[in-house]
Amino acid sequence: MDDTPLSVLAGILFLLICASGFFSSAETSMMSLNRYRLKHLAKNGHRGAKLAYELLQQPDRLIGVILIGNNFVNIVASAIATIIAIRLWGNAGIAIATGLLTLIILVFAEVAPKTLANAKPERIAFPAAFVLKPLLQFLYPIVWLINAASNRLLRMLGVNFNDDDTDQLSRDELRTVVNESGTMIPKRHRKMLISILDLEQVTVDDIMIPRNEVVGINIDEDIDDIIEDLRTSQHTRLPVYKGDLNNPIGMLHSRNALRFITDDDEKSKATLLQHATEPYFVPESTQLHTQMGNFQKNKKRQGLVVDEYGDVKGLVTLEDILEEIVGEFTTDLAASSQDIHPQEDGSFFIDGSATIREINRTLTWDLPTDGPKTMSGLIVEHLEFFPNAPLCFRKGNYVIEVKQMKDNMIKTARVFYFTTDNIQNTLENNI
């Protein structure tokens, strides 16, 4: 080495620094890879992704071979740099070589390569895998020995390597992934995915049609009134009950109702009941994703929601659950907005029976959904009494004014939504 020309030593030093930069960038890029995208690329036959995926299956060996290579080239580079410095500056060159080499390695072999690898992990990791794979096979005995020693030390410190990997995402983590996907997933699709994740947190009781709004056929009515109800009904399936919805008899499909209406010989209550099918009951606490599966398994599209005592509380349909995922898809625009009426001053007249979830979905608000299900219930819960005259109160950034009361129920309320900055000024001008 003493007779080796300085130019050759400088060339070797340059190659060693490049090798150090390679190992540094390879380590960062491998650890920065998106595991789910990597698995997808590997399944689709991408060779670099396959090799990287195989290496990451045993990260201790991957890190071991990278660190062996990186430390080896850094130590050799330090020795050669010292030789060059001593030849140029004598014994003082040792300090100079230490300072210069430290700066060069930090900039060109550590910080810059690792920053680039973190920004473009796939562009670095996939080509690097073609080098690291055979290098691991070549250095396997040394890597195995070092890993065995380090793993033994970690076990002595209480680290358990048998714990399941936490690569699996929780629902909240998956929600964050979807929200942060940006343009990779269209906005409408992101909303649908988030809605699917929310199905586990929503029960049938949250989305059902309340009992007082259920349209059905009372078999105790006159046959002519029943026929008129069938003619004017806009619903595909109607519950048939005796006197009260708590006494359901069955469900009548509009197809069978049409046959019943058009055939004069079959216009009797007995014939009507023959066309009705058995009622299907749904517990009020059933989660939506479970109920969707139940509808599919039982080949049903709607069911009567009952509480723990068996009393009918309302009606839920498959369409209601699908709208929780994809949003309103009815073609009847009047029906989709009959409970919410925008005003010129920016407020909204909202029917007291409108559900909080429907209001939030329609107006993109965030009224609390963990308590009462309707606007009327939300107001009564906040006031803790039934108002007998118009009044106004504030709940967060919402200002709610009770407009009409009927039978201990709020019939209509006017709601303003404001930011904290302009709420007082707007209140003085509008209320």
405: β partners: 410
Q: What is the pLDDT of residue 410?
A: 87
User: How many Å apart are CA 159 and CA 287, to the nearest integer?
Assistant: 39
Cα atoms found within 13 Å of the Cα of residue 157, Cβ hemisphere only: 8
Q: What is the pLDDT of residue 47?
A: 93
For helices 318-326 and 187-198, angle between their N-to-C axes, nearest 10 degrees: 130
Is residue 263 a part of any domain in this protein? yes
Q: What is the pLDDT of residue 166?
A: 52
Is residue 360 a part of any domain in this protein? yes
Q: What is the pLDDT of residue 337?
A: 54
In a shared domain, residues 133 and 210: no
User: How many Å apart are CA 165 and CA 57, to the nearest integer?
Assistant: 11
Question: What is the mean pLDDT for each group of 10 consecutive residues in the chain (431 residues)?
Answer: 75 92 93 88 91 90 92 91 85 82 90 93 93 92 88 81 61 78 76 80 86 88 85 85 91 78 70 86 91 91 91 90 74 56 89 85 83 87 84 89 84 83 53 49
In a shared domain, residues 110 and 51: yes
Which three-class secondary structure state does DSSP give residue 223? helix
Residue with tokens 């006159």: 222
Find out whether 269 and 246 touch, Cβ atoms under 8 Å. no
Total structural domains within the chain: 3
User: How many Å apart are CA 283 and CA 307, to the nearest integer?
Assistant: 6
In a shared domain, residues 14 and 139: yes
Is residue 328 a part of any domain in this protein? no
Is residue 73 a part of any domain in this protein? yes
Q: What angle do CA 27, 28, 30 make, to 5 degrees?
A: 70
- The helix (run of H) or strand (run of E) holding residue 61 is helix 59-89
In a shared domain, residues 90 and 129: yes
In a shared domain, residues 226 and 92: no
In a shared domain, residues 365 and 237: no
In a shared domain, residues 392 and 268: no
Please give the residue range of the domain that contains residue 252.
200-318
In a shared domain, residues 123 and 32: yes
In a shared domain, residues 289 and 346: no
Is residue 174 a part of any domain in this protein? no
Of the residues 156, 189, 223, the one at which a domain ends: 156
In a shared domain, residues 305 and 344: no
Q: What is the pLDDT of residue 407?
A: 75
User: How many Å apart are CA 360 and CA 329, to the nearest integer?
Assistant: 16
In a shared domain, residues 309 and 348: no
- Concatenated DSSP letters for 151-190? HHHHHHTT--TTSPPTTSPPHHHHHHHHHTTGGGS-HHHH
Of the residues 129, 156, 183, the one at which a domain ends: 156
CATH of the domain at 245: 3.10.580.10
Is residue 185 a part of any domain in this protein? no
User: How many Å apart are CA 414 and CA 341, to the nearest integer?
Assistant: 9
Find out whether 359 and 230 touch, Cβ atoms under 8 Å. no
In a shared domain, residues 300 and 376: no
Q: What is the pLDDT of residue 331?
A: 46
Of the residues 287, 318, 349, the one at which a domain ends: 318
Is residue 180 a part of any domain in this protein? no
Is residue 329 a part of any domain in this protein? no
Cα→Cα distances 230→24, 200, 207, 276, Å? 76, 36, 25, 13
